[in-house]
Amino acid sequence: MEIKDKVVLITGASRGIGRELVRAFLEAGASRVYAGARRPGDKTDDARIVPIELDVSSSESIQKAQKRAADTQILVNNAGVLEFGNLLEAPRDSFRRNLEVNLWGNLDMDRAFVPVLESNGGGGIVNILTLLSLVSAPGMSAYNASKAAAWSVALSLRATLSGRGIEVFNVFPGAVDTDMLAGVEMPKTSASAVANSIVRGVASGAEDIFPDPMSESVYATWKQDHKAVEKQFASM
């Protein structure tokens, strides 16, 4: 989809992939980017960046953002949390916290902003999911569950919006070098490279985006033999 002159709202833009997406959308020609953050700064070095307060786990905060960013044309559901823990031992509250942001946060943002996008003539919704939406790693059970459910919501969203002028893009990164995976030793792609790849994917109209070498390679195998990928991730 065309990004030039579009108004974009990105959740979780304070750091990591979200912060790089702000830059990448501007470089692709967006006219304004609302940088949603729980604790936004009040200054930016670029007048096209508009910091707004946005906690996706708070309906009050979402309502305020909906009014503040009423000219949004592309919504990027990027905010996310990851808590480690295996299925039998992770506290139930850990599941609740992961679902709160990764599932309900996306769903509530979609419900609030579909009418906004429609009133602005249509647009796009970009969901930052993960390879762990497709396959589970046992040490991240709450995150897996939340992101698999978020993928399901994203697919329902795409079906629901079919023919209504809003494109839905689902993004499945592999390991990215941000705070989220700090302390996990494995090959990771930089957040800036991943953000560039996501924006290129959206611009090219790719519905499903695998934005780094790990995600491309795992997806290629998954398409051929998802049981092999299941076994590989189970041993992580």
Ligand X SMILES: NC(=O)c1ccc[n+]([C@@H]2O[C@H](COP(=O)([O-])OP(=O)(O)OC[C@H]3O[C@@H](n4cnc5c(N)ncnc54)[C@H](OP(=O)(O)O)[C@@H]3O)[C@@H](O)[C@H]2O)c1
Which of 9, 16, 22, 73 forms a contact with ligand X (CB under 6 A)?
16
Binding track, positions 24-63, relative to ligand X; x by CB under 6 A: -------------xxx--------------xxxx------
Residue with tokens 């953000």: 195
Compare residues 128 and 137 and give the one whose CB is closer to ligand X. 128
For 118-166, the DSSP string reads HHTT-EEEEEE--GGGTS--TTBHHHHHHHHHHHHHHHHHHHHHTTTTE
Number of H helices, E strands in the chain: 8, 9
Compare residues 3 and 76 and give the one whose CB is closer to ligand X. 76
Please give the helix or strand (H or E) that residue 216 lies within, else none.
helix 213-224
> Which residues, including other chains, have CB under 8 Å from residue 112's CB and lie 6 or more apart?
62, 63, 65, 66
Please give the helix or strand (H or E) that residue 189 lies within, else none.
strand 189-190
By CB under 6 A, what part of segment 82-121 binds ligand X? 101, 105
Minimum CB separation of residue 150 from ligand X in Å reads 8
Instruction: Please give the radius of gyration of the chain, using alpha carbons only, rounded to the nearest integer.
Output: 17
Exposed, middle or buried by CB within 10 Å (0-12, 13-18, 19+), for 41?
Answer: exposed
Binding track, positions 58-87, relative to ligand X; x by CB under 6 A: --------------------xxxx------
Minimum CB separation of residue 123 from ligand X in Å reads 20
Compare residues 29 and 187 and give the one whose CB is closer to ligand X. 187
Which of 107, 180, 193, 203 forms a contact with ligand X (CB under 6 A)?
180
Which of 128, 135, 168, 218 forms a contact with ligand X (CB under 6 A)?
128
Q: Give the integer Cα–Cα distance in Å for 83 and 85.
A: 7
- Kindly indicate which of the ranges 16-24, 110-118, 152-160, 200-208 contains the residues binding ligand X, using the contact rule CB under 6 A: 16-24
Which of 72, 73, 136, 178 forms a contact with ligand X (CB under 6 A)?
178
Which of 7, 35, 117, 175 forms a contact with ligand X (CB under 6 A)?
175
Which of 76, 90, 112, 176 forms a contact with ligand X (CB under 6 A)?
176
Q: How far is CA 118 from CA 59, 94, 171, in A?
A: 20, 35, 22
Binding site for ligand X (CB under 6 A): 11-12, 14-18, 37-39, 54-57, 78-81, 101, 105, 128, 130, 173, 175-176, 178-181
